[in-house]
Amino acid sequence: MASCIQRRKFLATLLGGAAAAWPRAVWAQQGAKLPTIGFLGSGTPSSYGQWNAALVQRLRELGWSEGRTVAIEYRWAEGRTERYAEIAAEFVRLKVDVIVTAGTGAVVAAKQATSVIPIVFAAAGDPVGTGLVASLARPGGNLTGLSIQAPDLAGKRLALLREIVPGVRRLAIMGNAGSAGAVLEMHEVQAKARALGLEVAIFEIRRAEDIAPAFESLKGRADALYIPPDPLVNTHRIRINTLALGARLPTLHTLREYVEPGGLMSYGPNLTDLFRRAADFVDKILRGAKPRNIPVEQPTKFDLVINLTTAKALGLTIPESFLLRADEVIE
């Protein structure tokens, strides 16, 4: 009899431990709805392809299989900032368990839509400076995630540009004036460039229709072009690089994804890695952690990428020492 009692106690302990280890979604399959992630993509499915794949793959590794143990509702703003608030409001109506997004504008819209639903940002330019979180160590509120901010990246990019375009004297900066993150970066780059003795001209865009006129305005006024990333620029990066090449302007970017379709050079955080790491934040929240207690993390992997095909088209000779330092050379 004692043996039977001990066996029942053992089985109860075993099952209790297993229940604690299982994702909530496994229990949800027994009748309740699956935990739901609302994914607010500021661009398009194609522009977010590898980033989204990294997020989903890491979620699967953590036990969250799309359609089986977790549901993901995808919504795409296609670079139109006015869509952010609409999508965020829809997620509130759907009562999703967590919202995942990237880009300061989209994160701000999500924050304005809800102070209750947890929000994970896979990438935000300056989450403290833009008021998204109280501090990196103690975010407070219902937001946490990953910052793409790192000390003096703008200065490092400009130094790299001068290595491969040694005669650069005039720098144009083209960015989305409607993006808080892009505006902060434009100001930082402007200050760094002037400290280096460069003439600086800023060209603001707010929508796709502004891109071509901006290039018309900067003709003959710049030796190189710095483009801060944001969803508008990301969605139209092929067009921007094509126009820059037509104007024979070397382009300086933050992300490697802007160099693949014809940009000259990028130096900055690996966005695919950040989206992968964002899945760990989602996992913690779905298992009960509060965003306010999860510190915002910063980039740990930075890539220097150069497009040799673009360099040749511009008549630039890239030093061998530079190529040896590059993480990726696109030919």
Residues 141, 207, single domain; the answer is no
pLDDT at 40: 97
- Mean pLDDT estimate for the chain: 88
Q: Considering the domain boundaries, does residue 22 fall inside one?
A: no
pLDDT in tens, 142-182: 999 999 876 568 899 999 999 999 889 999 999 999 887 78
pLDDT at 99: 98
Residues 165, 144, single domain; the answer is no
Higher pLDDT, 100 or 28: 100
Q: Considering the domain boundaries, does residue 8 fall inside one?
A: no
Structural domains in the chain (count)? 2
Q: What whole-number distance in Å separates Cα of residue 218 and Cα of residue 222?
A: 7
Cβ atoms of 178 and 206 within 8 Å: the answer is yes
pLDDT in tens, 278-305: 999 999 999 999 999 999 999 888 899 9
DSSP state of 82: H
Residues 108, 179, single domain; the answer is no
Higher pLDDT, 2 or 201: 201
pLDDT in tens, 211-264: 999 999 998 899 999 999 888 888 899 999 999 999 999 999 988 889 999 999
For residue 65, the domain's CATH number is: 3.40.50.2300
Residues 35, 138, single domain; the answer is yes
pLDDT at 82: 87
Residues 213, 79, single domain; the answer is no
Q: Considering the domain boundaries, does residue 243 fall inside one?
A: yes
Residues 205, 316, single domain; the answer is yes
Q: Considering the domain boundaries, does residue 81 fall inside one?
A: yes
Q: Considering the domain boundaries, does residue 87 fall inside one?
A: yes
SS3 category, 304: strand
Residues 186, 230, single domain; the answer is yes
| Residue-number span of the structural domain to which 38 is assigned | 29-149+272-293
Q: Considering the domain boundaries, does residue 129 fall inside one?
A: yes
Average pLDDT for 48-74: 95
The whole-model pTM stands at: 0.78
pLDDT at 325: 95
